[in-house]
Amino acid sequence: MPNIPVTTWSLEQTDPSDLLSAAAPEGDVRIVRSEVPSPEFSRFLYASVGGDIRWIDRLGWSHAQWREHLDRAGVETWVAYDRGTPAGYVELTPRDDGVVEIEYFGLLPAFRGRRIGGHLLSYGAARAWDLAERWPGLPGTKRVWLHTCSLDGEHAMDNYQRRGFKLFDTKVEEQPEVSAPDPWPGAYPA
């Protein structure tokens, strides 16, 4: 399998005032924390959001690996619902010394381009900044960061920057070219 160059950009906010909120989309869009850790639901979100953009690193995880990750103190999944249907999610993972990573963020293909992503990202970043309020024992958040890459959606970088994230690192690495794993081939246009 040939290799392809993949650019990865890392972005951060270093103060809650860095966050620039997006307007809420029209209609019945709600964002709810998935408070019961569920490997099945988390894997569904991961595969459904990332299936067409080559998210593959967690596809081989066992149920036990999903459970171990989700049971870590401070790991949170926030899900956007459009009229009761999961539209996308943001996963927060605390790191050392008050750092919170937005480890995964995205929308299912059918919900992209409907102004839900900016709203969900704003909401998720705000929840990263107040994470310690829900998790006694975790330090207060001092930095929120994330990464995106050239394989992600075409509007990802712009959305992050419009929400106040600042670029702090860029890397280009050769990676094996893999086909998009499509959780359900033929379910949506490629």
Residues 108-156 pLDDT 10s: 999 998 999 999 999 999 999 999 999 999 999 999 999 998 888 888 9
Measured distance CA(162)–CA(68) in Å, rounded: 33
3-176 CATH: 3.40.630.30
Report domain extents, the chain.
Answer: 3-176
pLDDT at residue 57 greater than cutoff 70: yes
Q: What is the pLDDT of residue 2?
A: 84
Could you tell me how many helices (H) and strands (E) the chain has, helices first? 5, 7
User: pLDDT of 1-40, one tens digit each?
Assistant: 688 898 999 999 999 999 999 999 999 999 999 999 999 9
0.85 exceeded by pTM: yes
Residue type for 118, please?
Answer: G
